[in-house]
Amino acid sequence: MRQHAQGSTGTGTPQIRTAAAAPRVPQQPVAADVDRERGVAADGTRGEHTHSEQPIPRPRLVQRASVRGQILDALRTALVTGELTPGEVYSAPALGERFGVSATPVREAMQQLALEGAVEVVPNRGFRVVERGTRELAELAEIRSLIEVPVMLRLARTVPAERWAELRPLAEAAARAAALGCRATYAESDRAFHRAVLSLCGNEQLVQIADDLHRRAQWPLVGGRAPAGNADLIADAADHTVLLDALIARDVDVVRGLVGRHSAGLV
């Protein structure tokens, strides 16, 4: 689908640069609290638990994972909207301040984004948002076409109509997100629809690779084109319904044209 550069933050998108707008995430326990629960003395030695001591409660570990996940989601949203600027370096402590959490979950989330290719580590400074140009976008589009077009054509010939009909709620969710004009929400809805379609091939590895390529295609370009407006998003979302209709009718020519165009498109 048609790729555009960074858009407005949209409704619900966390603000990276202003503390007032940053979402509040549960505060992490300080090291001293954790040490006391683990039985670690002030000098760093580890003592045995007494009968009155309790092991580290499992909910605290779950909370930390939850905070890290929230930060990762917020940073991914900021990447899609362009709030994290390509070429800029961001430190984990500074971002942690804005999110109201310690630097640790931010650093862990940034390390995940580094594995995904969205940022790169800058020693002693933080993480730089990767700068992408039109050539990289074209390469991503080519790879997506090579993967998705033959899979979609095979599915068009083999999957029964009722299975495609089950995916209409996902197409409708994308249409609602487009109508709201929230680029980040639409990007998630769009990928959810494509994952569901491709998952019918039964190859989980292929679905994961295609989703990763799709996510990368959503990141803004350096000096890119104007952000997608509501009309662009609405038109893009409408293609999901057209694609489902073509798959139900087993019209492989329409399927081939839509999938090929969308691979080089918006999000």
- The CATH number covering residue 121 comes to 1.10.10.10
Of the candidates 114, 108, 106, the residue with the CA atom closest to the CA atom of residue 25: 106
Q: What is the pLDDT of residues 3-13, one digit of tens each?
A: 444 444 444 44
Using left for φ > 0, alpha for ψ between -120 and 50, and beta otherwise, residue 10 falls in left
Q: Which residue has the higher pLDDT, 175 or 49?
A: 175
Domain boundary among 67, 102, 129: 129
Residue 252 shares a structural domain with residue 190: yes
Radius of gyration of the chain (CA): 22
Structure tokens at 75: 């940073």
For the record, the structure tokens of 220 come out as 């803004």
Domain presence at residue 24: no
In a domain, 1, yes or no: no
Residue 3 counted as domain residue: no
Contacts of 119 (CB under 8 A, 6+ apart): 110, 113, 127, 128, 129, 130
Side chain identity at residue 225, one-letter code? R
Residue 86 domain flag: yes
Domain count of the fold of the chain: 2
Question: Same domain for 106 and 226?
Answer: no
Whether 14 is covered by a domain: the verdict is no
| CA 123 – CA 255 distance, rounded (Å) | 47
pLDDT in tens, 112-171: 999 988 999 999 999 999 988 888 888 998 999 999 999 999 999 999 999 999 999 999
State residue 265's pLDDT score. 59
Indicate if 257 and 139 belong to the same structural domain. Answer: yes
Instruction: Kindly give, in sequence order, each residue whose CB lies less than 8 Å from that of residue 206, ignoring residues fewer than 6 positions away.
Output: 147, 151, 198
Task: Name the helix (H) or strand (E) containing 90.
Answer: strand 89-90
Coil, strand, or helix at residue 119? strand
